[in-house]
């Protein structure tokens, strides 16, 4: 992944270094990776700056941009932002949920809060040890796990499926990226010949495709879920019919 010093990042984003610092001070831009006294920004920072610039051009205020970016960070939708007049309270709730103590984990998952499950959750990136607490990268994922555990599904099975889904999604993401890389990168064993204009074109295309790919996958997943739910219900209905006691047609 390409990394930038702050002046290079500002130039790529078409803005001043001062604006980059302002966005960072306001919490709109994550801090850079530190290496000694130098700060290094990456492509995700550039994409965030481009997004902030587009939102400012459309008339969004810093406060609104902050709310929407926070919503995205915690897996919320725009509706979650609009349904309350006190977004600060909502963010405080989710920030608290993003840090859990061992006692809170045990309250959520009971005796399934085992060392093995915690280790697997940590390896999957669902949990990360933060002092005496655990940070949660995706509170929505944790909420879904709790709902499933409360319904009687073993936490180990949920984590196992989470690992499988992550592998599958990596393949899905690779397919979208391949659409772009096949256009710009040389085939296996070939010689790469890209000028600066082509590199910029490829980067712009990736940034444009990313949200569209997300929406496409979301829509396709919703369709697939409906299809699988229908199949599961049909299978359940068939099993109920097969297990129902036969009635004697001569009775009565």
pLDDT, tens digit, 9 for 90 and up, residues 174-201: 887 777 777 666 666 666 666 667 666 7
Instruction: Give the per-residue pLDDT at 199.
Output: 67
Instruction: Give the per-residue pLDDT at 74.
Output: 57
Q: What are 144's two structure tokens?
A: 């879904």
In which band, very low, low, confident or very high, does the pLDDT at 77 lie, cut at 50, 70 and 90? low
Q: Tell me the β-bridge partners of 101.
A: 133
- Confidence (pTM): 0.54
| 49 has pLDDT over 60 | yes
Q: What is the mean pLDDT of residues 156-171?
A: 88
20-24, 159-163, 196-200: least confidently modelled range: 196-200
Q: How far apart are CA 61 and CA 167, in angstroms?
A: 38
Chain CA centroid to CA 212, Å: 15
Phi first, then psi, for residue 196 (nearest 5°) are: -60, -35
Higher pLDDT, 180 or 161: 161
Higher pLDDT, 90 or 240: 240
Q: What is the mean pLDDT of residues 217-241?
A: 79
| 242 has pLDDT over 50 | yes
46-50, 99-103, 148-152, 215-219: least confidently modelled range: 215-219
- Is there a contact between 12 and 47 (Cβ–Cβ < 8 Å)? no
Q: What is the mean pLDDT of residues 91-109?
A: 70
Average pLDDT, the chain: 78
């Amino acid at each position: 992944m390409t990394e930038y010093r702050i002046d290079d990042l500002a130039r790529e984003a078409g803005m001043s270094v001062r604006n980059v610092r302002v966005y960072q001070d306001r919490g709109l831009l994550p801090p850079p990776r530190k290496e000694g006294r130098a700060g290094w920004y990456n492509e995700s920072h550039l994409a965030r700056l481009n997004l902030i610039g587009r939102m400012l051009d459309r008339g969004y205020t810093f406060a609104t941009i902050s709310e929407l970016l926070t919503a995205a960070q915690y897996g919320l939708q725009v509706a979650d932002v609009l349904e309350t007049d006190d977004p600060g309270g909502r963010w405080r709730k989710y920030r608290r949920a993003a840090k859990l103590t061992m006692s809170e984990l045990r309250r959520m998952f009971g005796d399934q809060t085992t060392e093995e499950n915690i280790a697997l959750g940590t390896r999957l990136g669902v949990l990360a040890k933060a002092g005496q607490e655990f940070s949660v990268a995706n509170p929505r994922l944790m909420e879904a796990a709790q709902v499933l555990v409360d319904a009687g599904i073993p936490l180990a099975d949920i984590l196992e499926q989470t690992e499988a889904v992550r592998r599958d999604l990596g393949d899905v993401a690779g397919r979208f990226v391949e659409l772009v890389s096949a256009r710009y990168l040389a085939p296996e064993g070939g010689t790469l010949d890209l000028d600066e204009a082509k590199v910029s074109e490829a980067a712009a295309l990736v940034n444009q495709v990313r949200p569209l790919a997300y929406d496409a996958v979301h829509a396709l997943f919703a369709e697939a879920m409906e299809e699988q739910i229908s199949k599961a219900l049909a299978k359940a209905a068939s099993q109920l019919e097969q297990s129902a006691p036969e009635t004697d047609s001569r009775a009565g």
